[in-house]
Amino acid sequence: MTGKAEFERRTEPFRKELLAHCYRMLASVDEAEDLVQETYLRAWRSYAAFEGRSSLRVWLYRIATNACLTALEQRGRRALPSGLGGPSDDPAAAGTETEVGWVEPIPDALVVSDPATIVTTRESLRLALIAALQYLPPKQRAVLILREVLAFPAAEVATMLDTTVAAVKSTLQRARARLDETAPERSDVIEPTDPQARALLAEYIAGFENADIAALERALRADAAIELVGTSTWFSGRVTCLRLLATAVGSPGDWRMIGTVANGQPAAAAYLRDAGGTYQAFGLAVLTPTSTGLTHIHVFGTPGLVAKFGLPLSCPGGAQERQTEDAEA
């Protein structure tokens, strides 16, 4: 076996988890993919000098983490609208924040594969947590993810970051305290495969496709919120959210939606019918389901997002068999 072939055989099994790690650090799929590519390039260039003083996995995480820290020196944090100010009570409001980088959704299929860790992986990728992590300084973010999410021993984290065990423990303490201030309270968020989560996704889709506000009302919890990612606008409370949705659903048949999974949460790729009867990609809605209804809808009005989920940018009008991505992916 050639050196290159051996390198690929040994390192390729870590690609998905490294992508998840870089995404947690950067909150951007494109940037995470670029950093994983850079990680593998750096690793290949120095593979001949790798002497096994640490495990291959630890070595790859060291390269990836430091590549992320370097990248983060060049930009500010990414955010969601609720991290920028209070909610609006005007459904016609549409603020913009051109200087803000936004937290992006990630397809489960890119980062989830091992059935043994699927639940914990999904929990660590939920949008609210990814947004909360962005409040941490980069070094604190790295330490917290490596210790709390990935469960690396403090000594290994110290080696990865060229620091001491004492410094790792101190940094982790500060990161935990900061995260307690920014992270949402733990709620009864359920898995996208749960029958209730599937039912809520179906009700959300039916509400839009049939212009059925009653279906959307049944899906939302009283404390539900909708965030229009890409603007500074968000809404809180079922009454206000329904006023917004009433302006968006249009007429029956205006929308077509395809179910998928993003950030360990059910999601709907949305298509809006144009004047010619073709459904053009609008973007993605990521839902936060609980046993008592949807608590959050994050709307990403970026048409190109659907392609990242392996879905078309347009669909013909008329009868069409629904495509639904396997929630287990």
pLDDT in tens, 212-244: 999 999 999 999 999 999 999 999 999 999 999
Q: Tokens representing 308?
A: 């990242």
Q: Which residues contact 172 (CB under 8 A, 6 or more apart)?
A: 140, 143, 144, 147, 148, 154
Instruction: For 7, list phi and psi in degrees, rounded to 5.
Output: -60, -45
Question: Which tens digit of pLDDT belongs to each residue from 253-279?
Answer: 999 999 999 999 999 999 999 999 999
How far is 220 from 79, CA to CA, in rounded Å?
24
Considering the chain, what is the average pLDDT of its residues? Answer: 90
Mutual orientation of helices 3-11 and 29-45 as an angle, nearest 10°?
140
Q: Which residues pair with 257 in a beta bridge?
A: 270
- Identify the CA nearest to 183 among candidates 116, 134, 111, 120: 134
pLDDT band at 328 (very low <50, low <70, confident <90, very high): very low
pLDDT band at 50 (very low <50, low <70, confident <90, very high): confident
Residues 308-327, mean pLDDT to the nearest whole number: 66
Instruction: For 257, list phi and psi in degrees, rounded to 5.
Output: -130, 150
Cα 33-37-39 angle, rounded to 5 deg: 115
Does residue 230 contact residue 102 with C-beta atoms inside 8 Å?
A: yes
Handedness of CA 161, 162, 165, 166 (dihedral sign): negative
How far is 197 from 85, CA to CA, in rounded Å?
29
pLDDT at 295 over 70: yes
**Amino acid letter, 119:** V
How far is 232 from 62, CA to CA, in rounded Å?
35
How far is 96 from 110, CA to CA, in rounded Å?
30
Q: Per-domain residue ranges for the chain?
A: 3-81+129-182, 82-126+189-329
Residue 46 DSSP code: T
Q: Which residues pair with 168 in a beta bridge?
A: none
Instruction: Give the total residue count for the chain.
Output: 329
pLDDT at 319 over 60: no
Which range has the worst mean pLDDT, 113-122, 131-140, 222-231? 113-122
Distance of CA 109 to the CA centre of its chain: 12
CATH (residue range 3-81+129-182): 1.20.140.160
Q: What is the pTM of this model?
A: 0.91
Q: Which residues contact 27 (CB under 8 A, 6 or more apart)?
A: 77, 78, 101, 103, 104, 130, 131, 133, 134
Helices and strands per DSSP (H, E), number in the chain: 14, 9
pLDDT at 326 over 60: no
pLDDT at 322 over 60: no
How far is 151 from 170, CA to CA, in rounded Å?
16
Choice between 188 and 287, residue whose per-residue pLDDT is larger: 287
Residues 115-130, mean pLDDT to the nearest whole number: 86
Q: Tokens representing 317?
A: 């009008």
Q: Which fold has domain 82-126+189-329?
A: Nuclear Transport Factor 2; Chain: A, (3.10.450)
